[in-house]
Amino acid sequence: MRMLVVDSFTDRPFAGNPAGVCLLDRAADADWMQRVAAEMKHSETAFVRPVDAADADFELRWFTPVVEVALCGHATLASAHALYETGVAPADRPIRFQTLRSGVLTVSRAEDGGLLMDFPACPPAETEAPGDLGEALGTTPFWVGRNSQNDLLVLVADEEAVRKLAPDVAALGRMDARGIIVTAKADPGREYAFVSRFFGAGVLLGDGEDPVTGSAHCALGPYWGAELGRDRLAGFQASERGGQVGITLHGDRVELAGRAVTILDGDFKA
């Protein structure tokens, strides 16, 4: 089986968010895929195999080192990049991914050489903040919402507050949420409209922070689009590696734009 490591939402190596992409020629056991993802140790490893379906070309599943997830943006971007780059998918057609929990996802080439992903929008609805959220974050939440992915979106004071955040990730991991998205409006003069960071101690290893989270922008896009009155905008995820995500809103769908770079291409033996 061919295994690639791809840095997503970046145009340079060792930035953005790395994902493993395993190109399968037949169905694989879920327990085996979980063990592979644990071995790879990336925030997500994607498993792709061809399918004969009227509305899809490939099956796509995503695993963190500890669980299978319903949606992953950066590993979808990495998978499409890998399929195009290796020639498995025709360069002149969109790729249609069949997923277990997020329906059919389509990825196409952009005119500028990047990739465009069609995802379901997951806007947050205002909710009561967990009582210990501010203490765990080390800053004051100004607004808190929850979406259908069970992510908490937390608005804080400004871009500096997002960038300097040093939360108690273990405490965040004990909250009833897949992940915690912390966000603020970008400083004036930036080429992006907002900044964010994503913490998911329940599904991620290491320090519990994801470098660039495509699925989080399915919540961030609708939220900031409504706040700013725009249907096209960009966000910057201000992790140590960092990465920018372009967003276009289409009703209940979100188009996410980004680039990717292959870091490793080899054979998986096990």
Catalytic residues: 44
Measured in degrees and rounded to the nearest 5, phi and psi for residue 178 equal -65, -45
Inter-CA distances, 206 with 19, 42, 66, 179, 200, Å: 15, 10, 12, 15, 10
Tokens of 84: 């195009």
Chain-centroid distance, C-alpha 50: 22
Rg (Cα) of the chain, in Å, rounded?
Answer: 18
Max CA pair span of the chain: 51
Q: Distance between CA 263 and CA 205 in Å, rounded?
A: 21
Residue 182 CB neighbour total at 10 angstroms: 24
Q: Distance between CA 115 and CA 109 in Å, rounded?
A: 5
DSSP sequence for 244-258: EEEEEEETTEEEEEE
Q: Distance between CA 92 and CA 219 in Å, rounded?
A: 30
Measured in degrees and rounded to the nearest 5, phi and psi for residue 23 equal -95, 110
- Paired residues of 120 in beta bridges: 253
